[in-house]
């Protein structure tokens, strides 16, 4: 496809991007390059990939708005040029005119004031500088009052000098000298252990020389000389004992103090992280436009050309579908945003504006409130039996539906890397057994039955309780969400950008270059590598298994990242940032050549036929299994045993006021056309079973045979999967 073609002439594709904190720097260059070849219909991502997906959706929205407005082809492409410039700006200085300081990328992850010491300690530890990490941690603890007693003990200076001498003259001495000076400002070192030992040895030599002289001059006076020597040794021993006892007491006092203060330091860290929702940075601060949330909000609005806060409804109006993954820690499961209406909790997620004011700009919060409905919205004064104790339960707003949910909110819910970014609090409401109205507790609410037939509203006996839940990074449950747009028959190419962390830098490559996914083996030689492999296996097993399926690897570009590139390296140099941007462009060029140019090997035409073969085989396998269990002669008896609940009926044991179970089909309620359809399914299943074979050239083939290398092609199977 010619990069300069009009947007409506470009082929349409879907795109999924992987998460990776600062590794997301690869995406702006890749998206700008891909935007010259394709139009994007469905876009998905998680964590840093969610940030890139939101920016791409905004850019595509701006391009579609310009196209529908009659703009020229170059003008339509302006949002993608701005997206490319945005990537370049990440390597620029955070403070204009300052060289050698933090970059714009580093400014996105700036910590909150209360957690800055912990942030700098963690950064130093990741740089391999434990002395600087310890200095930052203890400095933060001293500022918070956790090390006050340690300061007082070291202020006398008795242990400061000997501690430095025991540590030696290496870099630890140089690193800890200012640290002890911080803990004991103005302290005067009173000598060292080596100095004390030298003075004691000198005194012993002098006493021994004097005794020898006395013995040689007055031989008869052996007893007096020996007594003098013993007396001198006793006096010296008493002095040394007194000196040592003082040091031992000081060391014991310091040990007890450090034990107490270390616990206080840990308690201070726990309290600080808990108050900050278990993160070093909320991503937002008033007057700090360089942090992640205001930075992303500003660019979303600029790329989309939208006057009001950009929502999923604005994207849908331009034919763009955006899906982002987040993780609910309290329920141990992922959610896909925006929530589909068939998700169980789609209408049972609530937020509190006063809580979210710490995370989002005022205009975004106003759009959230305006697009949602307040829970228990009947005015309190109009509710019979209402008491002031019920007031805390009335300040919840339901998470807006798709058309009114701001894109920024979903992106921030997905990009909440544990401990780096704060988790976001939401709330669930649970129905409990009936309680009398007098059992109302603080923070709990009651529902009120609406007035019917002229009757006044009355207190309903159903008790509702509000439970707080925390949402964190989407990469915890699905860091490479290929399943977002999974469908048996693909309508268009599903391109994917995958990040591969390697021990050395390597070129970008297609995962299915030779028609088969070759997984990378992680070398495990140290306990740290073992722990990392455990965590990655728990997080990535499902995502990695999807790459082995036919059609997935052939559409995935793998971007290899060597040491120091991406990940948690928040302080990457401008050169490293430009290297990542270049890798992203390289991956986009490979995908653009394969799927933007007709007739390419493993291009879209061949891929459609390849996927069709596997879909037909999987469908045949499902029909055979269906016929085995649901033979036509078994259906009448089985369906008559199925309970049938009419809409509006209550079942025994059901809570009053809750919706009754959905209508269930029964053998006596099926129509003639439905029975004909069941007959057709049974006949099709029997035909598939009759022609089913095991060869690779058969349409309804069983699992492929093993090849000479002891491998065989991976196969999927059609099964029920809940909506996320």
Pairing of strands 333-337, 321-328: antiparallel
Residue of 84, 139, 261, 473 marked catalytic: 473
**Among residues of the chain, what percentage have pLDDT more than 90?**
24
pLDDT at residue 295 greater than cutoff 90:
yes
**List of residues 6+ apart from 295 with CB closer than 8 A:** 108, 289
| pLDDT for 529 | 80
Best CA proximity match to 290, nearest among 29, 95, 570, 27: 95
Q: Provide the pLDDT confidence category of residue 613 given band limits of 50, 70 and 90.
A: confident
Greater confidence (532 vs 578) lies with 578
Write the burial class of residue 86 (CB in 10 Å: 0-12 exposed, 13-18 middle, 19+ buried): buried
Write the burial class of residue 337 (CB in 10 Å: 0-12 exposed, 13-18 middle, 19+ buried): buried
| pLDDT for 678 | 81
The residue assigned the tokens 């359809």 is 677
pLDDT at residue 183 greater than cutoff 50:
no
DSSP line for 51-107: HHHHHHHHHHHHHHHHHHTT--HHHHTHHHHHHHHHHHHTTSBSSTT-SSS-BHHHH
Q: Provide the pLDDT confidence category of residue 570 given band limits of 50, 70 and 90.
A: confident
| pLDDT for 53 | 96
How far apart CA 692 and CA 452 sit, in angstroms, is: 61
| pLDDT for 249 | 67
Q: Provide the pLDDT confidence category of residue 49 given band limits of 50, 70 and 90.
A: very high
Q: Please say if 47 is a catalytic residue.
A: yes
Q: Provide the pLDDT confidence category of residue 186 given band limits of 50, 70 and 90.
A: very low
Greater confidence (670 vs 200) lies with 670
The CA-atom distances, in angstroms, between 585 and each of 32, 35, 36, 108, 527 are 8, 11, 11, 23, 36
**List of residues 6+ apart from 173 with CB closer than 8 A:** 164, 167
| pLDDT for 227 | 53
| pLDDT for 123 | 87
| pLDDT for 18 | 92
How far apart CA 701 and CA 713 sit, in angstroms, is: 12
Helices (H), 398-464: 407-414
* Per-residue pLDDT tens over the stretch 508-521: 888 876 555 666 67
pLDDT at residue 253 greater than cutoff 90:
no
Q: Provide the pLDDT confidence category of residue 170 given band limits of 50, 70 and 90.
A: very low
Region of residue 283 (phi > 0: left; psi between -120 and 50: alpha; otherwise: beta): left
* Per-residue pLDDT tens over the stretch 320-370: 999 999 999 998 889 999 987 666 777 888 999 989 999 999 999 999 999
pLDDT at residue 92 greater than cutoff 50:
yes
What is the SS3 assignment for 21? strand
pLDDT at residue 598 greater than cutoff 70:
no
How far apart CA 367 and CA 311 sit, in angstroms, is: 9
What is the SS3 assignment for 599? coil
Q: Are 137 and 131 in contact (CB under 8 A)?
A: no
Q: Provide the pLDDT confidence category of residue 215 given band limits of 50, 70 and 90.
A: low
What is the mean pLDDT of the segment spanning 37-66?
Answer: 94
| pLDDT for 653 | 38
Q: Provide the pLDDT confidence category of residue 648 given band limits of 50, 70 and 90.
A: very low
**List of residues 6+ apart from 536 with CB closer than 8 A:** 522
The CA-atom distances, in angstroms, between 27 and each of 20, 227, 392, 521, 546 are 11, 88, 44, 25, 22
Question: Mean pLDDT score of the chain, rounded to an integer?
Answer: 75
What is the mean pLDDT of the segment spanning 574-582?
Answer: 92
What is the SS3 assignment for 631? coil
**Among residues of the chain, what percentage have pLDDT more than 70?**
64
| pLDDT for 511 | 82
pLDDT at residue 312 greater than cutoff 90:
yes
Best CA proximity match to 112, nearest among 333, 224, 275: 275
Q: Provide the pLDDT confidence category of residue 429 given band limits of 50, 70 and 90.
A: confident
Greater confidence (268 vs 210) lies with 268
Q: For residue 713, is the peptide bond before it cis, meaning its omega torsion is within 30 degrees of 0?
A: no
| CB count in 10 Å sphere of residue 714 | 18
For the ranges 76-80, 473-477, 540-544, which has the lowest average pLDDT?
Answer: 540-544
| pLDDT for 664 | 53
* Per-residue pLDDT tens over the stretch 441-456: 554 555 544 444 555 4
Write the burial class of residue 250 (CB in 10 Å: 0-12 exposed, 13-18 middle, 19+ buried): middle
What is the mean pLDDT of the segment spanning 587-591?
Answer: 91
* Per-residue pLDDT tens over the stretch 664-721: 555 556 777 877 888 888 888 888 877 776 555 566 765 555 444 544 455 665 665 6
Q: Provide the pLDDT confidence category of residue 540 given band limits of 50, 70 and 90.
A: confident
Q: Are 572 and 564 in contact (CB under 8 A)?
A: yes
């Amino acid at each position: 496809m010619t990069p300069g073609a009009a947007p409506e002439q470009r082929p349409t594709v879907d795109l999924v991007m992987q998460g990776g904190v600062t590794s997301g720097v690869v995406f702006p260059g890749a998206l700008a390059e891909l935007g010259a070849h394709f139009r994007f219909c469905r876009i998905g991502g998680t964590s840093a990939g969610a940030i890139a997906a939101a920016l791409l959706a905004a850019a595509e929205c701006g391009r579609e708005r310009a196209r529908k407005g009659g703009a020229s082809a170059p003008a339509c492409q302006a949002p993608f040029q701005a997206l490319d410039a945005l990537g370049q700006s990440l390597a620029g200085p955070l403070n204009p005119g300052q060289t050698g300081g933090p970059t714009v990328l580093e400014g996105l992850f700036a910590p909150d004031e209360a957690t800055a010491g912990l942030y700098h300690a963690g950064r130093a530890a990741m740089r391999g500088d434990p002395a600087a990490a310890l200095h930052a941690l203890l400095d933060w603890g001293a500022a918070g009052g956790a090390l006050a007693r340690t300061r007082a003990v070291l202020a006398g200076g008795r242990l400061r000098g000997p501690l430095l001498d025991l540590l030696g003259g290496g870099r630890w001495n140089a690193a800890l000298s200012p640290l002890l000076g911080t803990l004991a400002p103005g302290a005067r070192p009173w000598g060292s252990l080596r100095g004390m030992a030298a003075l004691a040895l000198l005194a012993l030599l002098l006493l021994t020389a004097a005794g020898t002289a006395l013995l040689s001059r007055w031989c008869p006076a052996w007893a007096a000389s020996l007594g003098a020597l013993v007396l001198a040794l006793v006096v010296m021993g008493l002095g040394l004992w007194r000196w040592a006892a003082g040091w031992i007491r000081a060391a014991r006092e310091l040990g007890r103090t450090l034990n107490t203060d270390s616990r206080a330091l840990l308690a201070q860290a726990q309290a600080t992280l808990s108050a900050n929702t278990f993160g070093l940075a909320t991503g937002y601060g008033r007057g700090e436009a360089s942090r992640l949330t205001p930075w992303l909000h500003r660019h979303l609005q600029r790329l989309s050309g939208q006057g009001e806060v950009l929502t999923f409804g604005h994207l849908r109006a331009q034919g763009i579908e955006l899906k982002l993954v987040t993780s609910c820690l309290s329920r141990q499961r992922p959610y896909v945003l925006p929530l589909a209406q068939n998700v169980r909790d789609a209408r049972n997620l609530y937020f509190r504006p006063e809580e979210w004011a710490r995370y989002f700009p005022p205009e975004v919060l106003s759009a959230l409130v305006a697009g949602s409905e307040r829970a228990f919205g009947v005015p309190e004064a109009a509710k019979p039996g209402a008491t002031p104790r019920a007031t805390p339960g009335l300040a919840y707003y339901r998470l807006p539906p798709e058309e009114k949910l701001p894109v920024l909110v979903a992106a921030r819910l997905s990009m909440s890397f544990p401990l780096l970014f704060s988790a976001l609090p939401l709330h669930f409401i649970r129905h409990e057994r009936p309680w009398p109205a007098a059992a109302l507790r603080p923070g709990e609410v009651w529902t009120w039955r609406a007035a019917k037939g002229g009757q006044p509203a009355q207190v309903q006996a159903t008790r509702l309780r509000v439970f707080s839940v925390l949402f964190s990074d989407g990469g915890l449950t699905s860091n490479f969400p290929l399943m977002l747009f999974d469908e048996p028959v693909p309508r268009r190419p599903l391109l994917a950008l995958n990040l591969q962390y390697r021990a050395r830098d390597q070129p970008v490559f297609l995962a299915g270059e030779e028609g088969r996914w070759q997984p990378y083996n992680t070398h495990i030689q140290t306990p740290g590598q073992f722990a990392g492999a455990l965590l990655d296996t728990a997080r990535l097993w499902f995502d990695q298994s999807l790459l082995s399926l036919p059609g997935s690897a052939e559409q995935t570009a793998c971007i290899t990242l060597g040491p120091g590139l991406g990940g948690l390296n928040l302080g990457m140099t401008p050169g490293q940032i430009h290297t990542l941007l270049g890798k992203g462009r390289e991956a986009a060029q490979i995908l653009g050549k394969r799927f933007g140019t007709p007739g390419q090997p493993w291009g879209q035409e061949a891929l459609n036929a390849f996927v069709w073969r596997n879909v037909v085989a999987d469908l045949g396998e499902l029909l055979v299994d269906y016929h085995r269990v649901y033979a036509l002669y078994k259906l009448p008896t089985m369906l008559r045993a199925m309970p049938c609940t009419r809409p509006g009926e209550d079942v025994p044991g059901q809570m009053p006021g809750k919706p009754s179970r959905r209508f269930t089909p029964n053998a006596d309620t099926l129509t003639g056309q439905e029975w004909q359809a069941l007959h057709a399914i049974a006949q099709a299943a029997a035909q598939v079973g009759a022609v089913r074979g095991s060869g690779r050239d058969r349409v309804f083939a069983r699992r492929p045979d093993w090849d000479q290398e002891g491998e065989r092609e991976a196969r999927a199977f059609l099964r029920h999967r809940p909506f996320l």
